[in-house]
């Protein structure tokens, strides 16, 4: 008799830890050192990070994938908070979950009518103290979110990101000596990754 192939073991559930590894994997192109430190703090191997990202991409791209909001609920559970939000002329709802890796942040999903997901990113947790952003030197990796940088250095101009999880801001910030610089700030999942100064400083 020809032996029957053994059944493939079922995949383990995709967990909140795996989603944090996905967030980190998208940040590794900018800050591999801090990402490695965070991965070790989570107790996850490099192989688990790669596998989590692979599985997440497969879920997102599958034609049989569940809606994005349902996917987040299945991984993260019920949100810590849900609140109505007005964005321009549109009414939406903000769902927020805690992120153990960043206790002062929340993973926020903005949903529109019918549960459509409009935005997914990290924001400051309600009640958490915002960072003090006064100079260019304060714009360090992971120090602030998109909204915080835009409020600290107005007027900030949004820039199109190079991937769906990436965003940019063009802003003007003074350095510690008072000279002003044109700066491009790059964000992944809403969290600052790096800045680049364009052109010479201005008085």
**Mean of pLDDT over the chain:** 90
Q: Compute the half-sphere exposure of residue 76: CA atoms within 13 Å on the CB side of its CA.
A: 22
Residue 161 or 20, more confident: 20
pLDDT band at 163 (very low <50, low <70, confident <90, very high): confident
- Residue 94: per-residue pLDDT: 94
Q: Closest Cα partner for 102 from 84, 81, 75, 121?
A: 121
Predicted structure pTM score: 0.89
pLDDT of residue 7 exceeding 60, the answer is no
Taking only the tens place, the pLDDT of each residue in 91-126 is: 889 999 999 999 999 999 999 877 788 899 999 999
Q: How would residue 9 be classed by pLDDT, with cut points 50, 70 and 90?
A: low
**What are the residue boundaries of the structural domains of the chain, listed by start?**
13-65, 66-127, 136-202
Q: What is the mean pLDDT of residues 21-28?
A: 96
Instruction: Quote the pLDDT of residue 22.
Output: 96
Chain Cα centroid distance, residue 94 = 15
- What φ, ψ does residue 126 adopt, rounded to 5°? -55, 130
pLDDT band at 15 (very low <50, low <70, confident <90, very high): very high
The alpha carbons of the chain give a radius of gyration, in whole angstroms, of: 20
Long-range contacts of 192-195 (CB under 8 A, 24+ apart): 192/139, 192/140, 192/141, 192/142, 192/143, 192/144, 192/145, 192/146, 192/149, 193/27, 193/30, 193/31, 193/141, 193/142, 194/30, 194/31, 194/141, 195/136, 195/139
Q: What is the pLDDT of residue 179?
A: 94
């Amino acid at each position: 008799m020809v032996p029957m192939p053994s059944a493939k073991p079922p995949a383990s559930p995709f967990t909140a830890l795996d989603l944090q590894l996905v967030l980190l994997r998208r940040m590794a192109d900018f800050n591999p050192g801090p990402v490695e430190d965070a991965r070790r703090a989570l107790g996850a191997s490099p192989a688990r990070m790669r596998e989590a990202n692979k599985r997440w991409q497969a879920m997102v791209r599958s034609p049989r994938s569940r809606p994005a909001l349902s996917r987040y609920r299945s991984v993260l559970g019920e949100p810590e908070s849900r609140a109505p939000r007005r964005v321009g002329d549109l009414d939406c709802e903000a769902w927020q979950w805690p992120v153990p890796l960043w206790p002062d942040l929340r993973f926020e999903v903005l949903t529109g009518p019918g549960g459509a997901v409009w935005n997914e990113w990290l924001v400051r947790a309600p009640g958490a103290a915002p960072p003090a952003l006064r100079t260019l030197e304060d714009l360090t990796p992971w120090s602030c979110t998109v909204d915080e940088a835009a409020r600290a250095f107005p007027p900030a101009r949004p820039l199109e990101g190079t991937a769906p999880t990436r965003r940019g801001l063009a802003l003007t910030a003074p350095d510690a000596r008072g000279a002003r610089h044109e700066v491009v700030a790059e964000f992944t999942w809403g969290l600052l990754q790096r800045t680049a100064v364009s052109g010479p400083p201005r008085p």
